[in-house]
A and B are shown apart, each in its own frame.
Chain A
């Protein structure tokens, strides 16, 4: 048995030692002070006939709040989706646990070409349309921030934050968040705001209670 496997087994045993009901009862909630929102992108329509009206939604500022600790990875790989609709990525920020496969369905009636050169995942899905099956997907197996672009539509950009924990949530545009179903114990609570800013604070979660933790 390899050392990481031993650690995972130890963590699993530790959790089994706690009554199952207590495991699901701890929660953390609070508010993250969000940075100023970005303007909606401006589409480059210089040479193309763009059938879409050209009104793009602004990126609402949000945070990803996650609990860092030694948690077991899921037995089966999880699946998430980031769609391309109206020449935008939706959602523009997607947190996933390490080992998650993300599908990228194209819901527009034009080609998209998603790629990323981020160190955490380098890929290029090529050009594909809405009826492409299976839906093009990528396995995100290394923690880190992955910036996505479209090779055809310069304004399209999105982020996938790959975290090594099953406990994460995206805040609402006011910065409010709530993490449920947490195990009791001492952990580090982190709030990711952008590629350069991740706030953190130690927390002690207790079964049956909700901890209030604001950032900053």
Chain B
């Protein structure tokens, strides 16, 4: 059972100490290290056949510390107040002539999400891309890769993302489970933690069974077609799992492919400053193992997650702004449609060449389900969250970020939650 541990006065310093100490230790001497990293980059780039084949090995080393209140927010799975989460990510980019491109992303850490305790070494992404024409009008890609939906997945890497955690739609757990089909609104309320769990004591006991609207960058498996025609970008994908599916289901061997998810995004780019995108996705959110729990006569493909998304981005000089709005529906036969709306607005500003700051406002609202007595109940708790994230680039290869998040939930108790996090990233 998760329980709030006793708070020690110096615990935040201990949890966040490694990234901050590294910043202080490396700060004065870091400027001279750029050349070393550039030389490493040169040595890790290989070529053959007159450079028709080129291979580059690169990566990031992230050292993250979290200090948080309980229950842990979003996709952090911890019963304590402190987590140290180191992560080594290696990328392999391969270019074969102008038409073929492949990439692989592997990670070594304590699990895909902090505290998850999943496989310590994984192939998180791999894909092969064929580009028939040089103007980018058509690309075909197959493999295991980030979703095309929305505008956050393209910037979710620790170096590019001004925050340490994802926006709310990508990590706030709803009352939906993907391992058991719900049979009543009451069951969903219990799963959401709105109602106490009978005979189990703790309302956060099975947090890992819950799913968000989109699980992080959603590195599921499948194929996509995408390109750029004039001022319009398009991307469509067929994947083995829905956007809400958890990392364990993303591998191509984890599903039988009988119930794929279709997703797409079309974006209009009037100029370099603005992007306006529209995304849609539909696919079953239950894992195949949930089949025995379905309502009699129903199939997995009747438990659909349908997502509509609108996104925009703006960039000019030292300002960047992103916003996304998602309307998601989890269809629950015999119970009703569990609808939710989630959005965020995020802005980043570079105050100096090395110091930047970011601000993000997130909110997720839940609709109601029929309670079986001609009434209706809200099926999860509405959530608001403010994220503040200053960051500093020591060099072109070393970066330190901090994040403070203050979260409010519509709940009878424990309305407020917080998180303080620090992340040190070395990019090579």
Cα-based distance from A41 to B31 in the complex (angstroms):
23
Q: Does A75 contact B (CB under 8 A)?
A: no
CB neighbours of B127 from chain A (8 A): 46
Q: Does B129 contact A (CB under 8 A)?
A: yes
Q: Does A76 contact B (CB under 8 A)?
A: no
CB neighbours of A128 from chain B (8 A): 317
Contact among B228, B316, B353 for A122, CB-based, below 8 A: B353
Instruction: Tell me, rounded to whole Å, the shortest Cβ–Cβ distance linking B125 to chain A.
Output: 7
Contact A42 B35 (CB under 8 A): no
CB neighbours of A42 from chain B (8 A): 45, 54-56, 93-95
Contact A157 B131 (CB under 8 A): no
Contact B272 A110 (CB under 8 A): yes
CB neighbours of A115 from chain B (8 A): 353, 396
Contact B38 A157 (CB under 8 A): yes
List residues of A (176-211) whose CB comes within 8 Å of B's CBs. 195-196
CB-defined A-B contacts under 8 Å, sample of 5:
A42-B94, A44-B58, A49-B227, A126-B317, A129-B273
Q: Does A127 contact B (CB under 8 A)?
A: yes
- From B133-141, B170-178, B180-188, B196-204, give the one contacting chain A: B133-141
Cα-based distance from A195 to B36 in the complex (angstroms):
10
Q: Does A133 contact B (CB under 8 A)?
A: no
Contact A38 B235 (CB under 8 A): no
The answer to whether residues A39 and B38 also contact, given A53-B134, A127-B315 and a CB cut-off of 8 A, is no
Q: Does B233 contact A (CB under 8 A)?
A: yes
List residues of A (82-121) whose CB comes within 8 Å of B's CBs. 109-111, 115-119
CB neighbours of B105 from chain A (8 A): 46
Instruction: Tell me, rounded to whole Å, the shortest Cβ–Cβ distance linking A45 to chain B.
Output: 6
CB neighbours of B315 from chain A (8 A): 111, 127
Contact B316 A46 (CB under 8 A): no
Cα-based distance from A126 to B155 in the complex (angstroms):
17
Contact B154 A44 (CB under 8 A): no
Instruction: Tell me, rounded to whole Å, the shortest Cβ–Cβ distance linking A41 to chain B.
Output: 7
Q: Does B386 contact A (CB under 8 A)?
A: no
**Chain A residue nearest to B398 in the complex (CB):** A117
Contact B91 A54 (CB under 8 A): no
Contact B45 A41 (CB under 8 A): yes
8 cross-chain pairs, A with B, having the tightest CB-CB distances, nearest first: A51-B136, A53-B134, A126-B317, A39-B47, A124-B353, A42-B56, A47-B154, A53-B98
Cα-based distance from A43 to B94 in the complex (angstroms):
9
Residue ranges of A at the interface with B (Cβ–Cβ < 8 Å): 38-55, 58, 109-111, 115-119, 122-124, 126-129, 147, 149, 154, 157, 195-196
**Chain A residue nearest to B395 in the complex (CB):** A117
Instruction: Tell me, rounded to whole Å, the shortest Cβ–Cβ distance linking A171 to chain B.
Output: 20
Instruction: Tell me, rounded to whole Å, the shortest Cβ–Cβ distance linking A112 to chain B.
Output: 10
Residue ranges of B at the interface with A (Cβ–Cβ < 8 Å): 31-32, 34-35, 38, 42, 45-47, 51, 54-56, 58, 91, 93-95, 97-98, 101, 103, 105, 125, 127, 129, 131, 134-136, 139, 145-146, 153-155, 226-228, 233, 235, 271-273, 315-318, 320, 350, 352-354, 393-396
Cα-based distance from A127 to B155 in the complex (angstroms):
16
Contact A51 B135 (CB under 8 A): yes
Cα-based distance from A50 to B45 in the complex (angstroms):
20
Contact A45 B129 (CB under 8 A): yes
Contact among B93, B95, B98, B233 for A49, CB-based, below 8 A: B233
Contact A39 B51 (CB under 8 A): yes
**Chain B residue nearest to A195 in the complex (CB):** B35
The answer to whether residues A119 and B31 also contact, given A46-B125, A58-B51, A124-B353 and a CB cut-off of 8 A, is yes
Instruction: Tell me, rounded to whole Å, the shortest Cβ–Cβ distance linking B53 to chain A.
Output: 10
Q: Which of A47, A48, A109 has the most CB of B within 10 A?
A: A47
Contact among A40, A47, A109, A117 for B47, CB-based, below 8 A: A40
CB neighbours of B271 from chain A (8 A): 129
**Chain B residue nearest to A148 in the complex (CB):** B396
Instruction: Tell me, rounded to whole Å, the shortest Cβ–Cβ distance linking B132 to chain A.
Output: 11
The answer to whether residues A44 and B228 also contact, given A117-B31, A117-B354, A124-B318 and a CB cut-off of 8 A, is no
CB neighbours of B353 from chain A (8 A): 115-117, 122-124
Instruction: Tell me, rounded to whole Å, the shortest Cβ–Cβ distance linking A115 to chain B.
Output: 6
Q: Which of A43, A127, A157 has the most CB of B within 10 A?
A: A127
Contact B154 A118 (CB under 8 A): no
Contact B318 A49 (CB under 8 A): no
Cα-based distance from A162 to B94 in the complex (angstroms):
35
Contact A127 B316 (CB under 8 A): yes
CB neighbours of B34 from chain A (8 A): 117-118, 147
Cα-based distance from A117 to B393 in the complex (angstroms):
9
CB neighbours of A110 from chain B (8 A): 272
The answer to whether residues A147 and B38 also contact, given A49-B136, A110-B272 and a CB cut-off of 8 A, is yes
The answer to whether residues A54 and B131 also contact, given A126-B317, A128-B317 and a CB cut-off of 8 A, is yes
Cα-based distance from A147 to B34 in the complex (angstroms):
8
Instruction: Tell me, rounded to whole Å, the shortest Cβ–Cβ distance linking A72 to chain B.
Output: 31
**Chain A residue nearest to B92 in the complex (CB):** A42
CB neighbours of B95 from chain A (8 A): 42-43, 54-55
Instruction: Tell me, rounded to whole Å, the shortest Cβ–Cβ distance linking B129 to chain A.
Output: 7
Cα-based distance from A51 to B136 in the complex (angstroms):
4
Cα-based distance from A200 to B207 in the complex (angstroms):
67
Instruction: Tell me, rounded to whole Å, the shortest Cβ–Cβ distance linking B310 to chain A.
Output: 19
Contact B45 A38 (CB under 8 A): yes
Contact B54 A49 (CB under 8 A): no
CB neighbours of B101 from chain A (8 A): 45, 54
CB neighbours of A48 from chain B (8 A): 154
If A44-B58, A46-B127, A110-B272 are given as contacts, then 18 extra A-B residue pairs at C-beta distance below 8 Å, sorted by A number, are: A40-B54, A41-B45, A43-B93, A47-B153, A49-B136, A49-B228, A49-B233, A51-B136, A53-B131, A54-B95, A54-B131, A111-B272, A117-B393, A124-B353, A124-B354, A127-B315, A127-B318, A147-B396
Contact A124 B31 (CB under 8 A): no
The answer to whether residues A49 and B235 also contact, given A127-B315, A157-B38 and a CB cut-off of 8 A, is yes
